[in-house]
A and B are shown apart, each in its own frame.
Chain A
Amino acid sequence: MKAGARTRLAEWLVTLPSFVWLGVLFLVPTVLVFAITFKPATPFGGIGEGWTLDTLRTLGNPNYPAILWRTIRLSMLATGGCILLATPMAYYMARAGAAWRRWLLLLVVLPFWTSSLVRIFAWKVLLHPEGMLKQALVWLGLAGPDAMLLYNENAVLLVMVYTELPFAILPIYAAAEKFDFRLIEAAKDLGASSFRAFRSVFLPGIRVGLLTAFLMVFIPSLGSYVIPDIVGGPTSEMVGNKIAQRTFVDRNLPHAAGLSAILAVAVLAPLLAIASLRRRESPRDALREEGV
């Protein structure tokens, strides 16, 4: 018993720094953001005395549901697009020879060597009505001369997928690399077509990687504001843009905090859903220990 208590104390001591870190830098600020929502704003951009529900009332802005829905929709689409592109890429990388694989990995992380701001801005140049891409599409007859590639939802989505793609490839590749490809052969041997083997054996085999990729892309996407700010227009505003606007232009911190809180709930909801799913799976893990 004493030895057990000592072990538990040691465990606590080891985990304490992380708890302090999380508490001070994550939990407290989150609670503060939620709390500020219920404070009045001052004309000078500060936070007033007392408590009020004014902000909550102004959050009922009729434009907000549309913006929130767009944020979630674009984030989902970007996440889906990233995973759709990343999965075949990761499959190919995992099957490639060691030398070729190293080069592909380098190519995946190469964009990180340039500031993301610069890369996003580069898209503005590409998509610009006078830009190379637009000109090429017009020349190929794939776009009319009046078509607008920039300042709309599609441009935002395209650049979001471009920016987040490495964050989807890396976890999926990490899972695919550990995947036993003999299982694909076994599936084909049992009569499965290549596609069926991919769907029924490979995808379940890398599901942890897919889940990680989903979180790694979806959560940052919800908060994105630079991309819609640079390549988006008034019709493609996301919650992030509104938060920035309330903070820097309107100087209304409680309102910005309210929007942040809504976004935080939008992020936490899928996380909690996944966590509860995991918990539902855990009795089987307990059974597994018995079985061995």
Chain B
Amino acid sequence: MSDFLQFEDVSKHYGAVKAVDHVSLSVKQGEFFSLLGPSGCGKTTLLRILAGFEQPDTGRVLLGGEDVTDLPPYERKVNTIFQSYALFPHLSVWDNIAFGLKVAKRPKKEIQSEVEAMLALIQMEDQAWKKPDQISGGQKQRVAIARALVNKPRVLLLDEPLAALDLKLRQRMLIELDLIHDEVGITFLYVTHDQGEAMSLSDRIAVMQAGKIEQLGTPAEIYEAPRSSFVAAFIGDTNFFDGVVAEPLEKHTVLDGFLSVAVDRDYSRLKIEDFPDLECFNDKQIRQGEHVFLSIRPEKFRISREKPEGRPHLNILEGGVEDVIYLGSQTKYWVRVGDYRISVIRQHSRYLLDEKPIRWNERVWLSWHADDGFMLEKYSEQDEALLQPPPEEVGETSEPGAGAS
């Protein structure tokens, strides 16, 4: 079960470009699995290798324990939903859906009933005889899904299927895709550059970058515990602080009435220029003296006018509010601390009844628990080109995290 679909050490080069670089990956049966990454990260190539449109240079692809690496596309029990839908323009909706069954020479009666069942699933029974250019984008999308699903593929491949739709339709199709996945129980392999789509649909996500898998996990794992600065910045919004790892914390425990002091390897002190020493969760056992990025998500901060009481593992910073954006369900603050403009999101429950709302130019206190900050290796130059720097101006639209927060 656990090794239903496997990529084993798969590589693919285009000239000097490594599109896919020794990727190993396994997908469970029935899983909604996403390949997420910026354009050019190799996610589509990986999908095309599974579909059979590309041959890997090395490695193999196993489907249900069977090696399918050398099979042509038409002999694989996988079907693809293309970004452009690729509906056959000369065929009606009905004939588009029936195409795979006709090619497989299934009996006429069976084709009839299967196609009708699919039309019912996508709720387009009354549009069956229209041609693709007579139906809307969302309907085309649904026909493409039906055309693939009617063949009962073992894996359904979706190549940025929502990219061509407008926002409202995208949100609706997102829900429909989720419902269809629940209904048919087929393994979905979903390729996207939109972290919002991947987050809301997937059981597991593989974040890809430069042909490699950067991190693999559930949406929550990836969002809450990013393993690299690339993942932290690509998935959701975050604040990066440039720091140097200092000594580990001491653990004070009372044992048989005696106070014992031990080195706590889980937490380290972190030195950041102009900041007081911070305490930080050190899950990756980063050694003392290493330069790291401390990543803290905007919603992990607590912002208050009064200085919070000190508690173990609580970090406290003082800063000035530079900008405030009221977003309805939450408010976004930009707080200046030293060289950093820190983005903070605060969910408010009783905005007007609460204490007087924080305004700009006020002195505030930011606090967060050591567990909510992650020390990550600094990202490479290549990553830097892919990621925008934290916005300098209020209202800048290039916020990679808008979809997930």
A279 in the interface (beta carbon within 8 A): no
B86 close to A191 (CB less than 8 A):
no
A189 to B54: give the CA distance in the assembly, Å: 12
A240 to B269: give the CA distance in the assembly, Å: 99
A182 close to B135 (CB less than 8 A):
no
What sequence of 0s and 1s flags, for each residue 86-98 of chain B, a beta carbon within 8 Å of any chain A beta carbon?
1111110000000
Please name 7 pairs of A and B residues whose Cβ atoms are closer than 8 Å in the assembled complex, sorted by A. Answer: A186-B80, A186-B86, A188-B72, A190-B103, A191-B104, A192-B103, A291-B130
Closest CB in chain A relative to B78 CB, distance in Å: 8
Besides A191-B104, A192-B103, A204-B91, 10 more A-B contacts (Cβ < 8 Å) are A186-B86, A188-B53, A189-B52, A189-B73, A189-B148, A190-B74, A190-B99, A190-B100, A191-B103, A192-B99
In the assembled complex, which residues on chain A have CB atoms less than 8 Å from the CB atom of B215?
none
What sequence of 0s and 1s flags, for each residue 209-234 of chain B, a beta carbon within 8 Å of any chain A beta carbon?
00000000000000000000000000
Interface centre among B51, B99, B130 (most CB of A within 10 A): B99
A287 to B51: give the CA distance in the assembly, Å: 37
In the assembled complex, which residues on chain A have CB atoms less than 8 Å from the CB atom of B89?
183, 205
Q: Choose among A182, A205, A291 the residue that contacts B84 (Cβ–Cβ < 8 A).
A: A182
Closest CB in chain A relative to B335 CB, distance in Å: 49
A287 to B135: give the CA distance in the assembly, Å: 12
A250 in the interface (beta carbon within 8 A): no
Q: Choose among A193, A196, A205 the residue that contacts B90 (Cβ–Cβ < 8 A).
A: A205
What sequence of 0s and 1s flags, for each residue 58-97 of chain B, a beta carbon within 8 Å of any chain A beta carbon?
0000000000000011100011101010111111000000
A292 in the interface (beta carbon within 8 A): yes
B104's nearest neighbour on chain A, judged by CB, is: A191
A201 to B96: give the CA distance in the assembly, Å: 11
Number of A interface residues at 8 Å Cβ cutoff, please give it: 22
A288 to B53: give the CA distance in the assembly, Å: 34
In the assembled complex, which residues on chain A have CB atoms less than 8 Å from the CB atom of B104?
191
Main secondary structure, interface of A, reads helix
B90 close to A191 (CB less than 8 A):
no
Binding site for B on A (CB under 8 A): 180, 182-183, 185-193, 196, 200-201, 204-205, 207, 287-288, 291-292
In the assembled complex, which residues on chain A have CB atoms less than 8 Å from the CB atom of B176?
none
A185 close to B53 (CB less than 8 A):
yes
B90 close to A188 (CB less than 8 A):
no
Closest CB in chain B relative to A199 CB, distance in Å: 11
In the assembled complex, which residues on chain B have CB atoms less than 8 Å from the CB atom of A188?
52-53, 72-74
Top-10 shortest CB links A-B: A291-B134, A186-B86, A190-B100, A204-B90, A188-B73, A191-B103, A189-B80, A192-B103, A182-B86, A191-B74
Binding site for A on B (CB under 8 A): 51-53, 72-74, 78-80, 82, 84, 86-91, 99-100, 103-104, 130-131, 133-135, 147-148, 151
In the assembled complex, which residues on chain B have CB atoms less than 8 Å from the CB atom of A207?
90
Given contacts A189-B73, A189-B79, A192-B74, contact A180 B100 (CB under 8 A): no
Closest CB in chain B relative to A183 CB, distance in Å: 5
B151 close to A183 (CB less than 8 A):
no
Interface centre among B79, B86, B91, B148 (most CB of A within 10 A): B86
B157's nearest neighbour on chain A, judged by CB, is: A189
A288 close to B90 (CB less than 8 A):
no
In the assembled complex, which residues on chain A have CB atoms less than 8 Å from the CB atom of B52?
188-189
B78's nearest neighbour on chain A, judged by CB, is: A189
In the assembled complex, which residues on chain B have CB atoms less than 8 Å from the CB atom of A182?
82, 84, 86
In the assembled complex, which residues on chain A have CB atoms less than 8 Å from the CB atom of B84?
180, 182
A183 close to B73 (CB less than 8 A):
no
A191 close to B53 (CB less than 8 A):
no
Closest CB in chain B relative to A232 CB, distance in Å: 40
B133's nearest neighbour on chain A, judged by CB, is: A288
B102's nearest neighbour on chain A, judged by CB, is: A200
In the assembled complex, which residues on chain B have CB atoms less than 8 Å from the CB atom of A189?
51-52, 73-74, 78-80, 148
A190 close to B79 (CB less than 8 A):
yes
B99 close to A187 (CB less than 8 A):
yes
In the assembled complex, which residues on chain B have CB atoms less than 8 Å from the CB atom of A287?
134
Q: Choose among B87, B131, B133, B151 the residue that contacts A191 (Cβ–Cβ < 8 A).
A: B151
In the assembled complex, which residues on chain A have CB atoms less than 8 Å from the CB atom of B99?
187, 190, 192, 200
Q: Choose among B88, B90, B134 the residue that contacts A186 (Cβ–Cβ < 8 A).
A: B88
Closest CB in chain B relative to A1 CB, distance in Å: 32
